[in-house]
Amino acid sequence: MAKESTPSLVQAGSLEALRAAVLAPARQGSLPPVHLWNPPFCGDIDMRIARDGTWFYAGTPIGRPALVKLFASILRLDDDGMMLVTPVEKVRLVVEDAPFLAVEMAVQEGEHPVLSFRTNVDDWVTVDAGHPLRFQQGASGGLKPYVHIRDGLEALVKRAVFIELADRGETRNVDGLAMFGVESSRVFFPMAEASSLEGLS
């Protein structure tokens, strides 16, 4: 009987073995269809995405951007946690905040501006009804902005980019409340009540 030709994600002892396991189902130039795969859960893997977006394997930072992009392409958010998924197995990793960071913002100006963000793995996403911005209270009382990337996966907007975003803010009436927020793709995304603007600084 022929044995499986690619290593298990759990049993792989090195980044190169992990890379081989991920490359088998991946297609160059496109994201693997992880939403269509239903493999068994094979346990936890010693991989972590830190709050600052750094990926760690076995306690060591993964210093190769191409490898991080490869692993990021098979991320999926399931009910029981963040997973790396292939057609034959899925394993759980630790994500301290969001799996991605939004590191750059581009603006298409006009009567109805369109905002786009680049992530730390060089994906671009346009902010719209399907890829909304959301704002959450941080532990220190300030706002933490997130943008939806795909299938429940979000990027935390870096502070410098958030400052650019907040500079575009305006106040609008939302359900009877004066709300400060931003518009993109004809959708208004409220950040906070206009009376609490000082909390954004």
pLDDT digits (tens, 9 = 90+) for 121-148: 999 999 999 999 999 987 776 889 999 9
CATH of residue 37's domain is 3.10.540.10
- 97 has which bridge partners? none
Which residue range is the domain that position 20 belongs to? Answer: 15-95
Q: Does residue 166 share a domain with residue 78? A: no
Same domain, 105 and 162: yes
User: Each residue of 82-120: pLDDT tens digit?
Assistant: 999 988 899 999 999 999 999 999 999 988 999 999 999
Whether 21 has a pLDDT exceeding 60, the answer reads: yes
pLDDT at 27 over 70: no
Whole-model pTM? 0.86
Q: What is the pLDDT of residues 40-84, one digit of tens each?
A: 999 999 999 999 999 999 999 999 999 999 999 999 999 999 999
Looking at 36, 71, 95, the residue that finishes a domain is: 95
Strand pairing report for 55-57 and 153-157: unpaired
* Contact assessment for residue 21 and residue 39, using Cβ atoms and an 8 Å cutoff: no
Which residues are CB-neighbours of 94 under 8 A, at least 6 positions away?
Answer: 47, 48, 49, 82
SS3 17: helix
Based on the fold, state whether residues 86 and 159 are members of the same structural domain. Answer: no
